[in-house]
């Protein structure tokens, strides 16, 4: 008789999967993706209307097994929990049997920030110390908590549409992470004088403009995970070294690239080799201190499977 399918809830995910560990998992998973040691389809998305989405992300990762993440994105749900709600189902490669179901909300929150931190380590200047966070949702907190492991942060600036939420997040960062943090009245104020920017919003139209950006800055573009909503203007995309998490996915569903392409400012050649190639040394990332670099994060199922396999191994142990 087959073993029963185990459930790993959000509390166990939080207890077992810390940001530092996950950063290493993300590096290895993205190298495997870039080197073709994975299989994944483009995410399937059903638009439920009024900003609500239902998505399915299937794939396989060597050494981790195969499976899928099934998730809803309901922005209104963020007010009382997480906007991303769902499960990751992990199957055993040897037997083909499903072995565990894992809370996807907590994994998504941790692995998305950890992937951005790994990209920041590869693309940001080595002396980068000031971070701007655009957005005040759960990803904002996780990105600060993760990026502090790859750069010695001196200061964090927070911007959000709600100044009250930005103030609260700045206070939490100062209290719990021991980092100097302040809220900002505008995006321009938030990004002034910083070295690293994370866009983590649900903005439908660009909030971060090329005019806001000094030379040498690194940007993690994270908030938009499908064609349509774009956080970054097309001029900034054209100006930057534009590094995708998954090139095929970004060419098909990366809103910022698609917007710049429609404006005839870039072609497919502007999308550089994947971040996994940068991690492995097969492709360069930053070429000069003055470069503006953008890591475009759509999120890949191989990231979820790497976390799932780690959590399943830890759970069994």
pTM: 0.94
Contact present, 122 and 285 (Cβ < 8 Å): yes
Determine the Cα–Cα distance for residues 118 and 242; give it in Å rounded to an integer: 16
DSSP letter at 80?
Answer: G
> How far out from the chain centre does Cα 43 lie?
15
In angstroms, the Cα distances linking 115 to 175, 190, 209, 274 are 25, 22, 23, 13
Helix or strand run (H / E) with residue 66: strand 65-73
| pLDDT means over runs of 10, the chain (317 residues) | 85 97 98 95 89 92 94 81 88 94 95 98 98 95 98 97 96 97 97 97 94 96 88 97 96 95 97 98 97 96 97 93
What is the CATH class of 125-300?
A: alpha beta
Contact present, 66 and 89 (Cβ < 8 Å): no
Domain ranges of the chain: 6-108+302-316, 125-300
CATH code for the part of the protein at 6-108+302-316: 3.30.1780.10
Cβ atoms within 10 Å, residue 110: 24
Contact present, 305 and 61 (Cβ < 8 Å): yes
Q: What is the pLDDT of residue 317?
A: 85
Q: What is the pLDDT of residue 84?
A: 81
Q: What is the pLDDT of residue 220?
A: 98
Determine the Cα–Cα distance for residues 248 and 253; give it in Å rounded to an integer: 8
């Amino acid at each position: 008789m087959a073993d029963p399918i185990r459930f790993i809830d959000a509390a166990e995910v939080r207890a077992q999967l810390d940001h530092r560990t996950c950063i290493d998992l993300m590096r290895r998973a993205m190298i495997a993706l870039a080197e073709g040691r994975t299989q994944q389809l483009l995410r399937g998305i059903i638009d439920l209307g009024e900003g609500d989405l239902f998505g399915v992300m299937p794939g396989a990762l060597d050494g981790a097994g195969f499976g899928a993440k099934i998730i809803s994105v309901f922005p209104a749900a963020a007010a009382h929990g997480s906007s991303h709600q769902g499960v990751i189902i992990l199957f055993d490669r040897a037997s083909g049997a499903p072995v565990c179901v894992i809370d996807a909300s907590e994994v998504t929150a941790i692995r998305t920030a950890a992937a951005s931190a790994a990209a920041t380590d590869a693309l940001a200047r080595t002396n980068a110390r000031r971070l701007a966070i655009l957005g005040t949702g759960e990803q904002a907190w996780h990105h600060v908590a993760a990026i502090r492991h790859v750069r010695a942060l001196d200061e964090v600036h927070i911007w959000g549409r709600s100044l009250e939420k930005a103030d609260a997040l700045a206070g939490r960062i100062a209290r719990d992470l021991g980092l100097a943090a302040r809220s900002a009245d505008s995006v321009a104020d938030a990004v002034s004088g910083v070295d690293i920017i994370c866009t983590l919003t649900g903005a439908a139209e660009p909030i971060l403009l090329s005019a806001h950006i000094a030379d040498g800055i690194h940007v993690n573009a994270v908030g938009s995970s499908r064609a349509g909503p774009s956080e970054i203007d097309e001029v900034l995309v054209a100006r930057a070294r534009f590094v995708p998490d998954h090139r095929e996915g970004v060419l098909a569903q990366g809103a910022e690239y698609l917007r710049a392409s429609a404006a005839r400012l870039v072609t497919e050649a502007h999308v550089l080799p994947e971040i996994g190639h940068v991690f492995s040394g097969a492709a360069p990332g930053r070429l000069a201190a003055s470069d503006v670099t953008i890591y475009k994060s759509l999120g890949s199922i191989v990231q979820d499977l790497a976390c799932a396999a780690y959590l399943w191994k830890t759970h069994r142990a």
